[in-house]
């Protein structure tokens, strides 16, 4: 798939087939993600693939926080927690969070190029101490969200995008 086609055709999917993504395919996605630009080559991104036991414990935490919310964790067969390592220096931390977000998007884009589907979900629960402890996220990391990845079960509509004149300004 050509890069421009991948960018224009990637969609958020929330209906997946049951087959988990093979570790070798995930490693291909992570390999590409590590090429995201990052100031001072800090490599701040961290990815955790959430297995069945951890997912089960996370679902218990989710339902305790908001009854009925755990079902959303079962949408995709593969969940990846994306986070950014922080240094404590505000400007570097900002750059590292943004670089980690780019790395996370590379995973979604590369998954799409392989015929997979995904979506990025931010979840307040992941900032809570019990969830952070369960997922091994220490105090020097900012959680970016969960990447849900799997085989698509349906096509998604093409959303409207704002015209360029609404989002671009050329300054003299």
| Domain residue spans of the chain | 3-167
Residue 87: exposure state from Cβ atoms within 10 A (0-12, 13-18, ≥19): middle
Give the dihedral sign, CA 54/145/78/16. Answer: positive
pLDDT given at position 137: 97
Q: Is 117 exposed, middle or buried, given 0-12, 13-18 or 19+ CB atoms closer than 10 A?
A: buried
pLDDT, tens digit, 9 for 90 and up, residues 62-121: 999 999 889 999 999 999 999 999 999 999 999 999 999 999 999 999 999 999 999 999
Q: Say if residue 151's pLDDT is above 90.
A: yes
Closest CA relative to residue 37, chosen from 83, 101, 107 = 101
CATH code for residues 3-167: 3.40.109.10
What pLDDT does residue 13 have?
A: 86
The pTM of the full predicted model, rounded to 2 decimals, is 0.93
The candidate with the shortest Cα–Cα distance to 123, out of 66, 168, 56, is 66
Sheet holding 45-50, edge to edge: 45-50, 78-85, 141-150, 117-121
Q: Is the pLDDT of residue 158 over 80?
A: no
Q: Which residue, among 48, 44, 145, 137, has the nearest Cα to 96 in the 3D structure?
A: 44
Tell which residue, 61, 152, 168, has the closest CA to residue 115. 152
């Amino acid at each position: 798939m050509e890069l421009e086609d991948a960018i224009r055709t990637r969609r958020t999917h929330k209906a997946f087939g049951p087959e988990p993504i093979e570790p070798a395919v995930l490693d291909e996605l992570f390999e590409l993600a590590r090429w995201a630009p990052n100031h001072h080559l800090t490599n701040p991104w961290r990815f955790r693939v959430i297995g069945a036991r951890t997912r089960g414990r996370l679902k218990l935490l989710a339902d305790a926080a908001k009854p009925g919310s755990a079902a959303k964790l079962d949408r995709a067969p593969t969940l990846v927690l994306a986070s950014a390592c922080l240094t404590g220096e505000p400007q570097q931390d900002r750059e590292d969070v943004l670089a980690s977000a780019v790395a996370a998007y590379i995973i979604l884009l590369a998954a799409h190029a392989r015929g997979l589907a995904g979506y990025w979900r931010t979840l307040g629960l992941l900032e809570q101490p019990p969830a952070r402890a369960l997922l091994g996220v220490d105090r020097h990391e900012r959680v970016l969200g969960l990447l849900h990845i799997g085989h698509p079960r349906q096509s998604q509509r093409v959303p409207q995008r704002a015209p360029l004149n609404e989002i671009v300004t050329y300054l003299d």
